[in-house]
């Protein structure tokens, strides 16, 4: 199977401009982007893996009308890219895919980050996860794997595309799965605490 799809670049090149939302998809009850990523500054200083202090118990944002600009601008890739199918809704899958500010080392200069909740790590070893990673890498898009730490700890992050690029080029799903699993093991083993 080939995962290469240069034509797909046009569909994803604007993923950081928030102007290409998938029709019919809404956030609904999902609040993954208010829980999983770290949000420094903007009056939030929210650690990774911890619900924002403004999350309401019944769902929604308690300061919606005055929420900071990053909250107004953010849409995950499930909202933006049709090939990230329904099963990957972040609150259901535990996988939040976000635009990444890291641009180096990929044909497109575009990268995304897969932020995987602690309760969803088992998904990382599956064929479905590997195929989703390959769908991005095959379009020349970098994929970073981010594992939020315990509350207050820094997240662990790796350049997942480096681990699977050859396998994606070869269309070898078993090798892609193996690369993803090896990257996950290395990311878990990495100690982000300063020496
Ligand atoms: S993670 Fe995506 S689907 Fe969930 S609330 Fe944020 S933008 Fe909406
Ligand atoms: S301020 Fe509101 S929208 Fe922003 S992270 Fe907190 S709960 Fe979510």
Q: Considering the domain boundaries, does residue 22 fall inside one?
A: yes
Q: Considering the domain boundaries, does residue 1 fall inside one?
A: no
Q: Considering the domain boundaries, does residue 3 fall inside one?
A: no
Q: Considering the domain boundaries, does residue 147 fall inside one?
A: yes
Ligand 1 contact via 84 beta carbon (within 6 Å): no
Ligand 2 contact via 55 beta carbon (within 6 Å): yes
Nearest residue by C-alpha to atom 8 in ligand 1: 27
Ligand 2 centroid to Cα of residue 174, in Å, is: 39
- Identify the domain containing residue 149 by its residue range: 8-189
The predicted pLDDT at position 11 comes to 41
Ligand 2 contact via 50 beta carbon (within 6 Å): no
The predicted pLDDT at position 10 comes to 38
Q: Considering the domain boundaries, does residue 44 fall inside one?
A: yes
Looking from the CA of residue 91, the nearest atom of ligand 1 is 4
Nearest ligand to the CA of 117 is 1
Nearest residue by C-alpha to atom 6 in ligand 1: 33
**pLDDT, tens digit only, all 195 positions of the chain:** 666 544 444 344 444 444 579 999 999 999 999 998 888 888 898 888 889 999 998 889 999 999 999 899 999 999 999 999 999 999 999 999 999 887 766 777 899 999 999 899 999 999 999 999 999 999 999 999 999 876 666 678 999 999 999 999 999 999 999 999 999 999 998 876 654
Residue 113 Cα distances to 2, 23, 43, 82, angstroms: 22, 23, 24, 17
Ligand 1 centroid to Cα of residue 30, in Å, is: 6
Ligand 1 contact via 37 beta carbon (within 6 Å): no
Q: Considering the domain boundaries, does residue 76 fall inside one?
A: yes
The predicted pLDDT at position 150 comes to 66
Overall domain count for the chain:
1
Ligand 1 centroid to Cα of residue 34, in Å, is: 8
Q: Considering the domain boundaries, does residue 25 fall inside one?
A: yes
């Amino acid at each position: 199977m080939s995962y290469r799809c240069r034509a797909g670049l046009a569909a994803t090149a604007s993923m950081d401009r928030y102007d290409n939302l998938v029709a019919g998809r809404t956030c609904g009850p999902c609040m993954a982007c208010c829980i999983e990523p770290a949000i420094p500054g903007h009056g939030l200083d929210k650690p990774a893996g911890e619900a924002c202090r403004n999350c309401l118990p019944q769902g929604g944002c308690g300061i919606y009308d005055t929420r900071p600009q990053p909250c107004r601008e953010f849409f995950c890739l499930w909202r933006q890219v049709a090939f990230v199918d329904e099963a990957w809704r972040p609150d259901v899958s535990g996988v939040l895919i976000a635009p990444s500010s890291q641009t180096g080392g990929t044909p497109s200069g575009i990268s995304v980050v897969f932020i995987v909740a602690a309760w969803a790590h088992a998904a990382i070893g599956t064929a479905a996860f590997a195929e989703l990673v390959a769908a991005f890498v095959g379009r020349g898009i970098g994929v970073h794997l981010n594992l939020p730490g315990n509350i207050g700890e820094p997240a662990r992050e790796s350049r997942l595309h480096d681990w699977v690029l050859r396998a994606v080029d070869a269309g070898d799903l078993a090798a892609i799965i193996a690369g993803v699993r090896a990257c996950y093991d290395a990311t878990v083993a990495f100690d982000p605490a300063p020496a």
